[in-house]
Amino acid sequence: MSPDRAGELLSEIERQVLWITINRPDAGNAITPDVRNGIIELLEGANASLDVRAVVITATGSKHFCTGADLRAGRPTPAPKPEGAPDRIGGDAARMIRTGIQRLTAAILDCEKPVIAAVNGTAAGGGAQIVLACDLAIAADTARLIQVFVRRGLIPDGGGAYLLPRLVGMKKAKELVFFGDDVSAVEAERLGLLNKVVPAAELEATAREWAERLASGPTKTIGFAKRLLNQSPDVDRATSFAQEALLVELVTQTGDSAEGVASFVERRPPEFKGW
């Protein structure tokens, strides 16, 4: 894989799948601002790339997927302040969240290509939110998901309070947030936080199989379906129906839609191109 961010973030396009690998195993694969921004850049680049038709986010090692933000990482040099101004001003922390972990979560949710989390180990804090934001999630049977924030006297960030109830319901979301308990991969699958749990040795192969299957599909169609599904919990029926009708019209104008119809009429497997 090609190194980026001094080797802390790896990326590779293989068979039209973009593999993004967090490579900081000695730091629990916690992400620095540079690594976070690198993931965002890769996802945004995938939107416009015809060479990318699916994305996998994973990490190096077998112990940690991502333990959230690296609290030991140095912060950017603050902008100069007038003499006498305090070090911390109201709004600074909120801005940091908006432009940091929330931007990463949004980049995953808004990616026009399907995104799979291949969870090789513990996903805690912001790392757990990455898993929640991904369209599909496959985990090693040794993985754990932890809404760890309460253990630090914090509330969930990275969109956790938005995403979690939509996946597990409000009562269960409150239990996971209030207690901050470890959730095993098997339990996370039962709750709907994961799609599939496999032996650790099979994780990469399973993620590859799913990603390449998605990459051979009608890319624009999947992207429009993702948009429609992601917004569905937040809009009323009339709005959802109107958006559905508009996106169906847009889908029928794609080459892959024409190929899908032609292959059906000609009784042959479709050969989707991604546009």
> What fold is seen in the domain 2-76+86-215?
2-enoyl-CoA Hydratase; Chain A, domain 1 (3.90.226)
For range 9-18, the mean pLDDT:
98
CA atoms of 176 and 195, how far apart (whole Å):
18
Contact 122, 146 (CB under 8 A): yes
CA atoms of 210 and 206, how far apart (whole Å):
6
CA atoms of 85 and 262, how far apart (whole Å):
68
SS3 content of the chain, % helix, strand, coil (to 5): 50, 15, 35
265 pLDDT above the threshold of 90: yes
The contacts of residue 187 (CB under 8 Å, 6+ apart) are: none
Tens-digit pLDDT profile for residues 31-48 = 999 999 999 999 999 999
CA atoms of 112 and 45, how far apart (whole Å):
10
How many residues are present in the chain? 275
Nearest to 26 by CA among 57, 61, 2: 61
What pLDDT is stored for residue 62 in this prediction?
Answer: 93
Tens-digit pLDDT profile for residues 75-84 = 666 677 788 7
CA atoms of 183 and 56, how far apart (whole Å):
22
Tens-digit pLDDT profile for residues 64-113 = 999 999 987 756 666 777 887 777 778 888 898 998 999 999 999 999 99
Q: Delimit the domains of the chain by residue range.
A: 2-76+86-215, 219-265
CA atoms of 216 and 164, how far apart (whole Å):
30
Residue 30: pLDDT band (50, 70, 90) is: very high
